[in-house]
Amino acid sequence: MSGLLHAVWNLFAKQSRNKVVFLWSFQWVAVFAFLPSALIAMEHHNIPTEGWLFLAVTAALHGVYVMVLSRTYTAGELSQVYPLMRGVSPLLVLLLGVSILGERLTTLGWLGVACVVAGIWILGNWRFGGCSTGRSLAPHATSLALAVGLSVTAYTTFDKITLQYIPAVTLNDASNLGNLIVLSWWAVRSRAVRVEWRVNWRTIILGGLISPGGYLLFLLALRMAPVAQLAPMREIGTVFGTILGIVVLKETQGRRRITAAGLISAGVILLGIFG
């Protein structure tokens, strides 16, 4: 469910006129919608100093993520960049563990790596000797999508640590506040706030509710299970995001991109279960 909700609000963001303003606008909805619950939860927890420090760090990381996300959707199509940025995070975590920490992958784990790499290759429409003709993934969009994947890796890791000190609903609202703060300068400076609200007020409000709602479900699950198992499972949303891009936004190369998203999702699940 969390993966599906994530794909839906990302569709809204891709459809928006000004990506920064849209994401900034629905952070206001998210912050105030969940603020009462966040404050009530805080009253029943004695939060130490290190808890506040971890909360500040993870809120900043969420802010960086949403800023890079806005630029990614300006540069690339949803059905291309969404599977890439959601699939690369679990892959990077495991590859870093193998190369730096000396961890080992099982045979099925390596099969998962191969599936993710193959899916990314198909998404980019690349071939040996250079890019193929057609709708290949531009280097700028690729770099931004990879940066989103790195951001997801960072904030998910810090969220897991922060949950030891902070209630899930409070952490979720603080993350929305971090997004709001980071985006504020560019959103106000754009002078496009009024136009964005007039055109997309329905999806701003709906996105402001389902985005934190979906991530709150993930945080609640994260308190009960290891991040290495849950984070890959959430990325099944890559298929949802790809299908929405093809069906709703009428993006091309549907068969190729659905195949690629399926490979990435299968690889991520293999990594999460057998890696």
What pLDDT was estimated at residue 230? 62
Residues in the chain: 275
Structure tokens at 34: 């969940």
Supply the DSSP string of 33-86, one letter for each residue.
HHHHHHHHHHHT----HHHHHHHHHHHHHHHHHHHHHHHHHHHS-HHHHHHHHH
Gap between the Cα atoms of 65 and 73, Å rounded = 12
The DSSP output letter for 18 is S
Q: Which amino acid is at 66?
A: V
Confidence at residue 256, expressed as pLDDT on a 0 to 100 scale: 76
Q: What pLDDT tens digit does each residue of the chain (275 aa) get?
A: 666 788 888 889 889 999 999 999 999 999 999 999 999 988 888 889 999 999 999 999 999 999 999 999 888 888 778 877 877 776 676 666 566 656 676 788 788 778 877 777 776 655 444 444 445 566 777 788 889 888 888 888 888 889 889 999 999 999 999 999 999 999 999 989 999 999 999 999 999 999 888 888 878 877 776 655 566 666 666 777 777 888 888 877 777 778 877 887 787 777 767 66
**Residue type, position 53, single letter:** L
Query: Which residue in 110, 109, 142, 150 sits closest to 123, CA to CA?
Result: 142
pLDDT score recorded for residue 135:
54
- What share of residues in the chain are helix, strand, coil (percent, to 5)? 80, 0, 15
Give me the number of domains the chain comprises: 1
The token pair at 215 is 């991530």
Could you list the residue range(s) of the whole structural domain that residue 157 is in? 2-274
